[in-house]
């Protein structure tokens, strides 16, 4: 999934020390007696006193068994839990430390679930940038190398590649939950060791689809923050490996939970203690960038032809690009000068089906596939209206980005989209039917002055809600609540 760094980066930036031999504990050997313990550990995991102290329910008992297995595993050195590295090869021990350790108010380790520069990681990068102003030194654990780790390297952020597995599966994938658990058990000692080396004070999971951060934090007796950025089941059809009850139990152990919208909170965190829950919208750009984009957007020509509709995001059935294409096919019958721009990675079966649909509908000269764009803002500035057709959008980072460029948004009236768009004030909402979408698209294409005003109104709202400054200030307040900063 992720791209490897180019050769110059491999030679000059991603310097990794030589692999050290690792010894695997034989079956039946616990951490205390295994050879090759995690560096710095005085036992299996310092402070671990049992499965889960005071377990009073079957779920807590199951968690205790899991913690006991992980505690035992943490006492033994492991082998790389990544088939691409080759079975039987030892785990690299060096992290990608690219800058000297600085005096910091707080040291936080972020754990992410992929290495591409898509929504969750772009929002995490914005957060890391914003938290620097508060004296937060950030460290990152990622399962792979890619554009995200290149961005970390450019910022001098220390990171470590560890093959952490998700605790969910896609609907079409073979479940293999036991295999994922086994691989997580093997990688856990390295995660615990790395967090110790970094001397972090808070562990921070960047997605609901990974749980290793919670387990590692519990073993190290560190506070853990869990950031929920997706519905999981509603948007991507993900299946929980161990069921909803265990999911609720484990996330309840986090000291704080952050949801990126009220919709995410209401769906995922209903069973959680309300005092732990924080709704914080993603910050998508610094305030200065909002102001710059406002000036650039003022140059957008609303009287020109064609009128460009835009859909941006990875090609996935949850994003409903096919719905946008079918609606556009009806719009061009009424607004012949309209064009549709589709931006995002399309190298999958759904992307192919969208390309085939465009050909079938005779729209090849009116629909442009832009594929992945590293910097989306120039694309927003080319467009006249963004289409947000996703039925279950966790927040809609692209919606906020469009608003930052004074671009009106036509959004489906579901998920978190209505939290961002006020109908006929900052955009248009439709009921989910193609006919309703066609009506909204035609309305703005025929009334560019209205489209322009909606976009300007949207910018005002976005400038208040979605800056990196607001985002990082709110998250830092949560960090302080679980790890109070001592005055110097």
Q: pLDDT grade, residue 217 (50/70/90)?
A: very high
User: Which burial class, exposed, middle or buried, applies to 414 when counting CB atoms under 10 A from its CB (0-12, 13-18, 19+)?
Assistant: middle
Q: What is the average per-residue pLDDT within 80-107?
A: 45
* pLDDT score of 50 more than 50: no
Q: Write down which residue in 279, 300, 323 finishes a domain.
A: 279
Q: How far is 105 from 220, CA to CA, in rounded Å?
A: 20
Is 415 a member of any domain?
A: yes
- Is residue 438 included in any domain, yes or no? yes
Q: What percent of the chain has pLDDT over 70?
A: 77
Same domain, yes or no, for 357 and 273? no
385 and 247 part of one domain: no
Mean pLDDT across the chain, nearest whole number?
Answer: 82
Whether 114 and 182 map to the same domain: the answer is: yes
Q: What whole-number percentage of the chain has pLDDT above 90?
A: 69
The reply to whether 223 and 364 lie within a common domain is no
In a domain, 478, yes or no: no
Same domain, 219 and 318: no
Does residue 456 belong to any structural domain of this protein?
yes
Of 370, 238, 243, 242, nearest to 313 by C-alpha is 370
Domain count, the chain: 2
The per-residue pLDDT for 66 is 54
pTM, rounded to two decimals: 0.78
Q: Is the domain of 49 the same as that of 91?
A: yes
Per the document, the length of the chain is: 488
| 295 shares a domain with 255 | no
- The CATH number of residue 14's host domain is 3.40.50.2000
Mark which of 218, 251, 279 sits at the end of a domain. Answer: 279
**DSSP result, 52-73:** STT--SHHHHHHHHHHHHHHHH
The answer to whether residue 472 sits within a structural domain is: no
Which residues in 335-419 belong to E strands, given as ranges?
Answer: 339-343, 367-371, 385-388, 409-412
Tell me the pLDDT tens digit for each residue of 338-397: 999 999 888 899 999 999 999 999 999 999 999 888 889 999 999 999 999 999 999 999
Residues whose CB is less than 8 angstroms from the CB of residue 57 and which lie 6 or more positions away in sequence, other chains included: none
Q: In whole angstroms, what is the distance from residue 114 CA to residue 442 CA? A: 38
Tell me, yes or no, whether 239 and 137 share the same domain. yes
56 belongs to a structural domain: yes
Query: Does any domain span residue 487?
Result: no
Query: Do 141 and 109 touch, CB atoms closer than 8 A?
Result: yes
Report the run of H or E that residue 297 belongs to, with start and end: helix 287-297
| Domain assignment of residue 449, given as a range | 287-466
Are 269 and 347 found together in one domain? no
* Rounded mean pLDDT, 289-298: 96
Residue 486 within any structural domain of the chain: no
List pLDDT tens digits, range 223-267.
999 999 999 888 778 899 999 999 999 999 999 999 999 999 999
Give the pLDDT confidence score for residue 303 in this predicted structure.
84
HSE (CB half, 13 Å, CA atoms) of 431?
A: 4
Q: What is the pLDDT of residues 6-37, one digit of tens each?
A: 333 333 322 222 222 222 222 333 333 333 33
Cβ atoms 465, 208 nearer than 8 A: no
- Provide CB contacts within 8 A for 187, sequence distance 6+: 78, 81, 91, 162, 163, 164, 165, 212
Q: Is the pLDDT of residue 289 over 90?
A: yes
Indicate if 113 and 215 belong to the same structural domain: yes
The answer to whether residues 326 and 267 belong to one domain is no
Same domain, 307 and 377: yes
């Amino acid at each position: 999934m992720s791209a490897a760094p180019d050769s110059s980066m491999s030679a000059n930036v991603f310097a990794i020390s030589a692999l050290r031999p690792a010894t695997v504990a034989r079956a039946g050997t616990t951490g205390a007696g295994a050879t090759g313990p995690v560096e710095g550990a005085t036992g299996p995991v310092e402070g671990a006193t049992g499965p889960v102290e005071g377990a009073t329910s079957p779920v807590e008992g199951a968690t205790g068994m899991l913690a006991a297995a992980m505690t035992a595993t943490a006492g033994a050195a492991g082998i790389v839990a990544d088939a691409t590295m080759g079975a039987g090869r030892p785990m690299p021990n060096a992290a990608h430390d690219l800058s000297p350790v600085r005096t910091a108010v707080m040291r936080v380790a972020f754990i992410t679930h992929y290495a591409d520069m898509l929504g969750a990681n772009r929002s995490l990068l914005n957060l890391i940038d914003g938290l620097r102003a508060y004296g937060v030194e950030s460290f990152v654990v990622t399962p792979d190398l890619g554009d995200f780790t290149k961005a970390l390297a450019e910022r001098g952020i220390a990171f470590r590649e560890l093959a952490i597995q998700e605790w969910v599966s896609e609907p079409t994938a073979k479940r293999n939950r036991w295999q994922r658990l086994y691989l997580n058990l093997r990688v856990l000692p390295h995660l615990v060791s790395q967090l110790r080396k970094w001397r972090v004070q808070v562990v921070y999971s960047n997605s609901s689809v990974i749980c290793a951060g919670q387990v590692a934090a519990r073993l190290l007796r560190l506070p853990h923050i869990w950031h929920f950025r997706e519905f999981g089941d509603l948007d991507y059809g993900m299946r929980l490996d161990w069921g909803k009850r265990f999911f609720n139990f484990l996330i309840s152990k986090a000291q704080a939970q952050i949801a990126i919208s009220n919709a995410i909170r209401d769906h995922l965190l209903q069973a959680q203690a309300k005092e732990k829950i924080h709704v914080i919208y993603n910050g998508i750009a610094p305030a200065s960038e909002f102001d710059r984009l406002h000036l650039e957007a003022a140059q957008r020509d609303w009287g020109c032809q064609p009128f460009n509709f835009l859909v941006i995001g990875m090609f996935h059935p949850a994003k409903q690009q096919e719905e946008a294409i079918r609606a556009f096919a009806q719009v061009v019958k009424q607004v012949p000068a309209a064009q549709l721009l589709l931006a995002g990675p399309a190298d999958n079966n759904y992307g192919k089906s969208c390309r085939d649909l465009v050909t079938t509908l005779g729209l090849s000269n009116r629909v442009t596939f832009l594929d992945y764009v590293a910097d989306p803002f120039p694309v927003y500035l080319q467009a006249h209206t963004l289409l947000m057709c996703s039925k279950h959008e966790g927040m809609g980072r692209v919606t906020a980005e469009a608003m930052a460029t004074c671009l009106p948004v036509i959004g489906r009236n579901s998920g978190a989209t209505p939290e961002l768009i006020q109908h006929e004030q900052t955009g248009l909402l439709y009921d989910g039917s193609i006919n309703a979408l066609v009506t909204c698209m035609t309305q703005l294409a025929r009334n560019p002055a209205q489209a322009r005003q909606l976009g300007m109104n949207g910018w005002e709202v976005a400038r208040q809600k979605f800056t990196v400054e607001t985002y990082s200030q709110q998250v830092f307040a949560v960090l302080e609540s679980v790890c109070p900063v001592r005055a110097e």
